[in-house]
């Protein structure tokens, strides 16, 4: 069995990837400070080492002990509005801690690195469609912190025998179809989660921010991707690197979008609950449309989605949120 290190593997995305790695036969070691993750999200007996990437001594000891040749890096702060009010948290937690990890990887001769990046590196593409060649013009410190990490990865790989894939996520949503794991962040702002919570009576309303965009129904359009498809992209990226693939950055999305109104309507359909929806002003910095040009992930990695349907995404999220509400009641 091949040892792989997964930082932030107890979080929403990381835990789904860890589960798929374990199911594929990898021996997974998770390094997580549990500030936003949950130890019980590791359901296949994976090894958990509780620690922080700011603790360079512990990080060095971990890589020395296990002799990893592969690292998947998820640990990060991810709330874009918070990054505007507390930018140094994001440059410390995302950029500086990625630097710490890369220094340890170089020292211990890590050969393959899969990085959790974001479509936020693009900012607001002029036509709402972002390809890997689109200008990278982030509009908040979150996106900037991830882009800076991509630059460090690029330059590290140029100077050392390490290859990487940076996966730029679009709007991750849904949950494990068997409801074993899903989004658990208490103050999550994801539209599908918020709408499910409203349907469950945990919120008194859902706000639609902006109804006057130049879109088919006036609300913002996003490329929602099922967490299971997103997670599988990491295994395809790892396989690509194991077969000698060159370093690259790749969008992870479906290449089609759903509007805010369409998402809310789908949650109402799946849940059978007609919850309150309030229309509000646009939020600063929200693009009218942000959709992936998703050709490369198919052509380069050979990946194809299995859950690319809004109703499937919402149904799996609803199943998980209902279970979580019962558990916490």
The whole-number pLDDT of residue 186 equals: 76
Q: How far apart are CA 318 and CA 173, in angstroms?
A: 11
In sequence order, what are the residues at sequence separation of 6 or more whose Cβ sits closer than 8 angstroms to the Cβ of residue 133?
A: none
Residues of the chain with pLDDT under 70: 1
- Tell me the angle at which helices 260-271 and 191-199 cross, rounded to the nearest 10 degrees: 40
The DSSP bridge pattern shows strands 206-209 and 289-292 to be unpaired
3-class secondary-structure state, position 222: strand
- pLDDT tens for each residue of 23-45: 999 999 999 999 999 999 999 99
Contacts of 61 (CB under 8 A, 6+ apart): none
The architecture of the domain spanning 174-223+255-328 is Alpha-Beta Complex (3.90)
- pLDDT, tens digit, for every residue of 244-300? 999 999 999 999 999 999 999 999 999 999 999 999 999 887 889 999 999 999 999
pLDDT of 1: 61
Q: What's the pLDDT score for residue 298?
A: 97
Q: Identical fold at 3-172+225-252 and 174-223+255-328?
A: no
- The pLDDT assigned to 277 comes to 98
Domain-wise residue ranges, the chain: 3-172+225-252, 174-223+255-328
Q: Residues with catalytic annotation?
A: 142
Superfamily of domain 3-172+225-252: NAD(P)-binding Rossmann-like Domain (3.40.50.720)
- pTM score over 0.75: yes
């Amino acid at each position: 069995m091949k040892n792989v290190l997964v930082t932030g593997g107890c979080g929403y995305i990381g835990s789904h990837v860890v589960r798929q790695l374990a199911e594929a036969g990898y021996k997974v070691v998770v390094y997580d400070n549990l500030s936003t993750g949950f130890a019980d999200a590791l359901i296949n007996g994976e090894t958990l080492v509780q620690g922080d990437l700011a603790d360079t001594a512990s990080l060095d000891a971990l890589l020395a002990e296990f002799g990893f040749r592969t690292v998947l890096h998820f640990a990060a702060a991810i709330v874009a509005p918070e990054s505007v009010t507390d930018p140094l948290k994001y440059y410390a937690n995302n950029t500086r801690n990625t630097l710490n990890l890369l220094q340890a990887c170089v020292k211990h001769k890590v050969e393959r690195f899969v990085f959790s990046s974001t479509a936020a590196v693009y900012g607001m593409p002029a036509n709402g469609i972002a390809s890997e060649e689109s200008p990278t013009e982030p509009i908040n410190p979150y996106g900037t912190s991830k882009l800076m990490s991509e630059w460090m990865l690029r330059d590290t790989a140029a100077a050392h025998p390490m290859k990487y894939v940076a996966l730029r996520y679009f709007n991750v949503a849904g949950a494990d179809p068997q409801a074993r794991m899903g989004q658990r962040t208490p103050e999550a702002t994801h539209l599908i989660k918020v709408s499910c919570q409203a349907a469950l009576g945990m919120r008194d309303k859902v706000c639609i921010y902006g109804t006057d965009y130049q879109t088919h129904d006036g609300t913002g359009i996003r490329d929602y991707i099922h967490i299971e498809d997103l997670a599988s992209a990491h295994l395809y990226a790892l396989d690509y690197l194991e077969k000698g693939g060159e370093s690259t950055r790749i969008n992870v999305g479906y290449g089609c979008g759903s509007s805010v109104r369409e998402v809310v309507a789908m949650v109402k359909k799946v849940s059978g609950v007609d919850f309150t929806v309030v229309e509000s002003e646009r939020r600063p910095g929200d693009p009218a449309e942000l959709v992936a040009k998703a050709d490369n992930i198919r052509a380069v990695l050979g990946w194809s989605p299995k859950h690319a349907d809004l109703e499937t995404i919402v149904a799996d999220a609803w199943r998980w949120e209902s279970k979580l509400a019962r558990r916490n009641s």
